[in-house]
């Protein structure tokens, strides 16, 4: 007597691109699953409705599928995934219109066509978003890169101005007042480097890397570089004057507190002592720095008049000689107005933020 062929219970569902089959057999090992001529062949030893036996079935699909089924074994069932060759919705699973008795819908995974289309669109949007994030970088990655870049910039500036400050301090304690007159030749190269690098701060503000306003950063950059490159850099007579020491020293004092404050901000850290020093030291050193810059400009006026450097004569018929000292005098007026306005704003800020009150409490 020919043995009866046992078929397991099979449940199916679909999406536009895939078919899902769930075979109700437990304890299955090494099943034979293949697709030939668009027909799925299944044969396996397992525990089903008729006990522990060999079960098999064959399904001819309604439309073309890819001949590489993917299956996953669990303790209670066999899950098979079949890829459609064309992404479309099928009206049924099998080519024959009459549904096989062992086949039934898998209501755990069942979706109608409209729901499946919504799911497909959601997956497509998710895929596109993932590709976009991979190409642009995630917001967290960009924020980390931005913080790392700003931290390294502030670190380099801090090290540069610290070197200047320590160098000037040590030279003063060793040489006394004699160190004033050789300041430029001792630290000018490092000051040139730091001030040229400071262009990055203005660029960062302009392109939105930092939230700092552009104009204050640009005014400080142009003002310092005018003193460094024009007043000191082009006139050897100015390089041996004591005022160079005070200008460089005051600049470095401001920056050795400012840049560490920004470094900690990049790490989302707040050291209250440093914050207090950053805003308190700035109050006297900024106007003193402006005063030292003004003294350097005043001392350079007779030097520029004597050498005639950067002076020019207007063309005919005016033929008036315009001395560079005229522009220096205008610069002095602008320096005074800028220093007065910035100083007033700094005191208002300190009063509003409580830093001045804290400063006064510490001395009571």
136-161 pLDDT, tens digit per residue, is 656 677 788 889 999 999 999 999 99
pLDDT value at 340 more than 60: no
Q: What is the pLDDT of residue 353?
A: 42
Question: What is the largest distance, in Å, between two alpha-carbon atoms of the chain?
Answer: 129
Q: Given 125, 293, 306, 331, which residue is catalytic?
A: 293
**Tens-digit pLDDT profile for residues 197-236:** 999 999 999 998 888 888 888 888 999 999 999 999 999 9
- pLDDT at site 34: 95
pLDDT band at 338 (very low <50, low <70, confident <90, very high): low
Identify whether 60 is a catalytic site residue: no
Active-site pick, 192, 286, 306, 331: 286
Residue 267 class from Cβ within 10 Å (0-12 exposed, 13-18 middle, 19+ buried)?
Answer: exposed
Please check whether residue 44 is in contact with residue 24, taking contact to mean a CB–CB distance below 8 angstroms: no
Q: What is the pLDDT of residues 20-50, one digit of tens each?
A: 999 999 999 889 999 999 999 999 999 998 8
pLDDT value at residue 145: 87
Q: What is the pLDDT of residue 63?
A: 93
C-alpha count within 13 angstroms, C-beta hemisphere, residue 234: 14
How high is the pLDDT of residue 362?
41
Residue 253 CA, distance from chain mean position = 30
345 or 28: which leads in pLDDT: 28
pLDDT band at residue 350 using 50, 70 and 90 as cut-offs: very low
- The CATH number, out of the four listed (1.10.3720.10, 2.60.40.790, 3.40.30.10, 3.40.50.300), of the domain defined by the range 10-136: 2.60.40.790
Using the predicted structure, report yes or no on whether residue 1 has a pLDDT greater than 80: no
Q: In the predicted model, is pLDDT for residue 364 greater than 70?
A: no
Let me know: does 207 contact 145? Beta carbons within 8 Å.
no
Compare 317 and 79 and report the one with higher pLDDT: 79
Handedness of CA 266, 271, 274, 275 (dihedral sign): positive
pLDDT over 70 at 356, yes or no:
no
Residues of the chain with CATH 2.60.40.790: 10-136
Alpha-carbon distance of 150 to 212, in angstroms, equals: 13
**Could you tell me if 10 and 102 are in contact, meaning their C-beta atoms sit under 8 angstroms apart?**
yes
For the chain, how far is it from start to end, CA to CA, in angstroms? 111
pLDDT of 344 reads 45
293 is catalytic: yes
């Amino acid at each position: 007597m020919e043995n009866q062929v046992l078929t397991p219970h099979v449940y199916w569902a679909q999406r536009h691109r895939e078919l899902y089959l769930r075979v109700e057999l437990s304890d299955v090992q090494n099943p034979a699953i293949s697709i030939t001529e668009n027909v799925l062949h299944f044969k396996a030893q397992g525990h089903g409705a008729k006990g522990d036996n060999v079960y098999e079935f064959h399904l001819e699909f309604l439309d073309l599928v890819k001949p590489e089924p993917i299956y996953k074994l669990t303790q209670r069932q066999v899950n098979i995934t079949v890829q459609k060759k064309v992404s479309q919705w099928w009206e049924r699973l099998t080519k024959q219109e009459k549904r096989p008795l062992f086949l039934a819908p898998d209501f755990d995974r069942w979706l109608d066509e409209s729901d499946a289309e919504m799911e497909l669109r959601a997956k497509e949007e998710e895929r596109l978003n993932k590709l976009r994030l991979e190409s642009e970088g995630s917001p967290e990655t960009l924020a980390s890169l931005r913080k790392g870049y700003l931290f390294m910039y502030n670190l380099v500036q801090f090290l540069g101005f610290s070197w200047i400050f320590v160098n000037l301090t040590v030279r003063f304690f060793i040489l006394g007042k004699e160190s004033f007159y050789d300041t430029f030749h001792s630290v000018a190269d490092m000051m040139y480097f730091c001030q040229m690098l400071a262009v990055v701060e203005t660029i960062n503000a302009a392109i939105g890397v930092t939230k700092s306003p552009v104009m204050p950063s640009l005014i400080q950059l142009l003002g310092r570089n005018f003193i460094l490159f024009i007043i000191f850099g082009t006139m050897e007579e100015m390089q041996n004057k004591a005022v160079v020491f005070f200008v460089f020293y005051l600049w470095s004092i401001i920056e050795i507190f400012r840049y560490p404050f920004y470094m900690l901000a990049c790490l989302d850290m707040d050291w209250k002592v440093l914050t207090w020093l950053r805003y308190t030291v700035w109050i006297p050193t900024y106007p003193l720095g402006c005063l030292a810059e003004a003294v350097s400009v005043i001392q350079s006026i007779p030097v520029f008049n004597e050498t005639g450097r950067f002076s020019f004569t207007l063309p005919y018929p005016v033929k008036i000689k315009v001395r560079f000292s005229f522009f220096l005098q205008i610069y002095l007026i602008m320096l005074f107005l800028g220093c007065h306005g910035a100083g007033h704003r700094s005191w208002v800020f300190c009063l509003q933020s409580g830093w001045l009150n804290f400063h006064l409490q510490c001395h009571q």
